């Protein structure tokens, strides 16, 4: 059994991770640390675990009794935690914050559709961002084939869980319900990792990647609409995407237009392409808390420990 611990256990991402690990056939969840909830049962915060778990949030933790640590604290806290703790030899780290997505300090960027071999041999994984996952899945086949030819235009909409568990002026129910809005146009923080990785795949690409994020009036999921000028025919683009994702366990190319509900509550990503004149249009859909966060973290854990990547992640879409 893989023995796991979680640092920062109170947020939505941690809640999903706890659920996945408790139901994983090859994992024993040893402890979940939370400074603000120490001593409280996990079910007091994550009500969906009622009847399934009797663990309490820990105020202290023993790194000697785990094989992998998941870091689920706020952005910026992972690097602080690592500087303050000495990891026993062999203990793996999977960071779900953005602290190490530039791959410094020995971290490997954990997008397996791009670098599965590196993920499988890594000791430290920087889990990709949710928007970054959806958008990179739209661009990876083009960049890997050096077929990005012009600037890229992206509009992507995310559910309210992407904003975290603490309510704010733009996340509480009465504002978010029956409403749409734009935020961080052209400046979203995930552009850093997207631009870095696309340039690693296609160093000659120096065009703009334009990203307009939107807040949706739903709780889970990301739907990305991406277009760029391309000399590829639709048939060539379809073949490129179908072949690129043929080995992928969770990302699937489909000839049919995609819907968000096809992926919500799963670790799947769906990708579809179509050509309109000179414009290649790519759409992708993921669950922001699963393929965009905790599900992808468990997928990476599976790869590191030599398991089938789908272990514990054969989840059913909500569908209706």
Question: Active-site residues: which are they?
Answer: 130
Q: 20 by DSSP, 3-state: which?
A: helix
User: Which has the closest alpha carbon to 4: 300, 308, 310?
Assistant: 300
Q: Which stretch of DSSP H or E encloses residue 131?
A: helix 130-144
How far apart are alpha carbons 245 and 114 in whole angstroms? 10
Beta strands at 108-109 and 92-95: parallel, antiparallel or unpaired:
unpaired
β partners of residue 109? 126
E strand intervals along the chain: 2-7, 27-33, 68-71, 92-95, 108-109, 124-126, 152-158, 181-182, 209-215, 222-229, 251-253, 269-276, 279-286
Q: Which stretch of DSSP H or E encloses residue 114?
A: helix 112-120
How far apart are alpha carbons 295 and 311 in whole angstroms? 11
Residues 6+ apart with CB under 8 A from 216: 157, 158, 159, 160, 180
DSSP per residue, 41-91 = BHHHH-GGGTTT---B-BSS--GGG-SEEEE-S-TTHHHHHHHH-PPPTT-
Distances (CA, A) of 148 to 191, 317, 319: 16, 32, 34
């Amino acid at each position: 059994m893989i023995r796991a611990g979680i640092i920062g256990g109170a947020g939505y991402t941690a809640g999903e991770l706890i659920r996945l690990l408790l139901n994983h056939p090859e994992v024993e969840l040893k402890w979940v640390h939370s400074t603000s909830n120490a001593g409280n049962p996990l079910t007091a915060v994550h009500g969906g675990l009622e009847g399934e778990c009797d663990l309490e949030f820990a105020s202290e933790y023993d790194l000697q009794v785990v094989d992998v640590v998941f870091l689920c604290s706020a952005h910026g806290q992972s690097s602080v935690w690592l500087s303050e703790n000495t990891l026993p030899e062999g203990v793996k780290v999977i960071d779900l914050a953005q602290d190490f997505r530039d791959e410094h300090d020995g971290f490997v960027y954990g997008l397996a559709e791009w670098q599965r071999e590196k993920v499988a041999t890594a000791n430290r994984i920087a889990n990709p961002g949710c928007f970054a996952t959806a958008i990179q899945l739209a661009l990876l086949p083009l960049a890997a084939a050096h077929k990005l030819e012009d600037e890229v235009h992206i509009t992507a909409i995310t559910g309210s869980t992407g904003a975290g568990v603490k309510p704010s002026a733009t996340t509480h129910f009465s504002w978010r319900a029956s409403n749409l809005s734009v935020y961080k146009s052209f400046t979203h923080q995930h552009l850093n990792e997207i631009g870095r990785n696309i340039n690693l795949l296609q160093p000659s690409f120096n065009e703009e990647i334009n990203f307009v994020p939107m807040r949706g009036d739903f709780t889970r999921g990301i739907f990305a609409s991406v277009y760029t000028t391309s000399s590829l025919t639709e048939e060539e683009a379809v073949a490129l995407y179908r072949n690129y994702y043929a080995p992928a366990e969770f990302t699937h190319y489909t000839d049919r237009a995609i819907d968000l509900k096809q992926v919500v509550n799963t670790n799947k990503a769906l990708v579809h392409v179509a050509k309109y004149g000179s414009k290649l249009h790519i759409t992708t859909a993921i669950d922001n808390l699963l393929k965009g966060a905790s599900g992808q973290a468990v997928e990476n854990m599976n790869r590191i420990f030599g398991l089938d990547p789908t272990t514990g992640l054969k989840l059913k879409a909500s569908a209706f």
